[in-house]
């Protein structure tokens, strides 16, 4: 089968020949998703603000020449709706958002307007575009009311959030549920779902105030990386893990529209949650010259110390599960950055190689049902 190594049979060939629209295609996860969809034979359309940095994956991998991209703001409903109506996509993914906790303190208005009204506008566009049969909203583990307990949050746990970013994601999930119950519940309507993932890492992410981009900015500058909260525990994932989940969810919505609507968690196995300090130790094993400092800050914006997801629903019902262990997650991530810092001849092909390796690992390891 064409492109088998890039995971076509993971999705039953569902994306081949389909028009797939991705908001936030210039972002980190969105750019990886678009590359995978393109490799699977989809006709990919992107709608988002321009990339924020010349280092971003969308730019360095030359994605603008590989897909149909239009600059646009998800807060502009009329422009966004015009793009949807022009394309008439079969499947739509919503990844555009203000995705940074610290930035939400700097500009809460932008965070709420992007993450709330952007979600409203996405589902307004889906509702008014009859060609769309499956639509996936991409959310965050931080949508839950985090009580910092030791077990993972399930999809039916209460939404919440102390910081503006987390609150915006909790609100966005309420918006999603209201649209699901109000407009997408009748037979024949578009099937919709929301995927919630944890802390996603991988090559091509250069956002501010994220630990792995901060690590490689410091490494390139020959300076120690400054760490705010080394003891914070997070559900670290290599970027292809949740992207695989979102795409698997779209496949299920396409094939069985009434069975897979609602919220879904995508995260590591329960015993694969590690602290920031443990993550940096693994990175230092691959880059020994990296220096780490953790200065005592007088004022620290609130960030959760412990956050875990219960993924049993996705494992049981979607035939999705995390493939990579912690070592492999770090290995894929470090290699992705080194491919940029020490330029390979074709970064786009290097990204596709990681997708191929990930897909083939899944095909090989799925028989024993354990992470590789």
Q: What is the pLDDT of residue 364?
A: 53
Least confident of 189-193, 268-272, 308-312, 316-320: 268-272
The pLDDT of residue 20 is 98
Lowest mean pLDDT among 63-67, 91-95, 121-125, 154-158: 154-158
Residue 61 main-chain phi, psi, to 5 deg: -90, 0
- In terms of DSSP H, where are the helices of the chain? 28-39, 57-60, 77-87, 101-106, 108-112, 118-127, 164-183, 211-221, 240-255, 276-286, 312-317, 326-341, 347-365
pLDDT at 5: 65
Question: Where does residue 13 fall: left (phi above 0), alpha (psi -120 to 50 degrees), or beta otherwise?
Answer: left
CA distance 251 to 254: 5
What is the Cα–Cα distance from 277 to 275, expressed in whole angstroms? 5
- Count of other CB atoms within 10 angstroms of residue 125: 25
Using CA atoms, how far residue 274 sits from 93, 199, 268, 278, 282, in Å, is 29, 11, 10, 6, 11
Please say if the pLDDT value at position 165 is more than 90. Answer: yes
Average pLDDT over residues 252-270: 93
Percent of the chain clearing pLDDT 70 (strictly above):
92
The pLDDT of residue 306? 67
The token pair at 100 is 């940074």
Rounded Cα–Cα distance for residues 218 and 213 (Å)? 9
- Between 4 and 69, residue with greater pLDDT: 69
**pLDDT tops 70 at residue 145:** yes
Alpha helices per DSSP H over 43-91: 57-60, 77-87
Q: Any idea which residue has 């329960």 for tokens?
A: 270
pLDDT band at 372 (very low <50, low <70, confident <90, very high): very low
Delineate the domains of the chain, giving CATH numbers in brackets.
4-360 (3.40.50.720)
Burial tier of 182 (Cβ tally within 10 Å: 0-12, 13-18, 19+): exposed
Mean pLDDT of 31-49: 97
Determine which of 147-151, 182-186, 212-216 has the lowest per-residue pLDDT on average. 147-151
Answer with the residue of higher pLDDT: 16 or 370. 16
How many CB atoms are closer than 10 A to CB 307? Answer: 24
Cα(124)–Cα(341) distance, integer angstroms = 41
């Amino acid at each position: 089968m064409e492109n088998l190594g890039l995971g076509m049979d993971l999705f039953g060939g569902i994306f081949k020949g389909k028009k797939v629209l991705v908001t936030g295609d210039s972002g980190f996860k969105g750019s990886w998703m678009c590359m995978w969809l393109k490799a699977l034979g989809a006709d990919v359309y992107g709608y988002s603000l321009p990339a924020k940095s010349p280092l971003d994956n969308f730019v360095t991998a030359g994605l603008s020449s590989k897909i149909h991209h239009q600059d646009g703001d998800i807060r502009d409903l009329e422009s966004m709706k015009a793009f949807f109506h022009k394309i008439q996509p079969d499947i739509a993914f919503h990844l555009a958002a203000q995705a940074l906790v610290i930035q939400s303190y700097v500009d809460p208005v932008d965070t709420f307007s992007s993450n709330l009204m952007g979600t409203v506008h996405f589902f307004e566009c889906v509702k008014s575009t009859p060609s769309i049969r499956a639509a996936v909203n991409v959310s965050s583990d931080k949508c839950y009311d985090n009580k910092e307990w030791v077990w993972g949050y399930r999809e039916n746990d209460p939404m919440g959030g102390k910081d503006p970013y987390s609150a915006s994601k909790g609100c966005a999930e309420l918006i999603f549920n209201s649209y699901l119950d109000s407009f997408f519940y009748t037979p024949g309507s578009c099937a919709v779902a929301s995927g919630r993932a944890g802390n996603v890492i991988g090559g091509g992410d250069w956002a501010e105030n994220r630990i792995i981009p901060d690590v490689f900015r410091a490494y390139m500058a020959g300076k120690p990386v400054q760490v705010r909260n080394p003891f914070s525990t997070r559900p670290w994932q290599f970027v292809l893990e949740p992207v695989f989940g979102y795409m698997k969810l779209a496949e299920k919505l396409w094939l069985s529209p009434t069975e897979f609507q609602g919220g879904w968690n995508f995260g590591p196995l329960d015993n694969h949650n590690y602290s920031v300090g443990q993550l940096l130790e693994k990175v230092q094993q691959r880059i020994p010259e990296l220096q780490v400092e953790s200065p005592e800050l007088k004022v620290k914006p609130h960030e959760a110390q412990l956050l875990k997801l219960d993924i049993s629903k996705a494992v049981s019902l979607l035939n999705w599960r995390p493939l990579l262990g912690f070592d492999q997650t770090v290995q894929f991530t470090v290699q992705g950055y080194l491919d940029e810092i020490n330029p390979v001849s074709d970064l786009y092909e290097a990204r596709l190689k990681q997708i191929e390796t990930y897909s083939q690992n899944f095909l090989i390891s799925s028989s024993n049902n354990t992470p590789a």
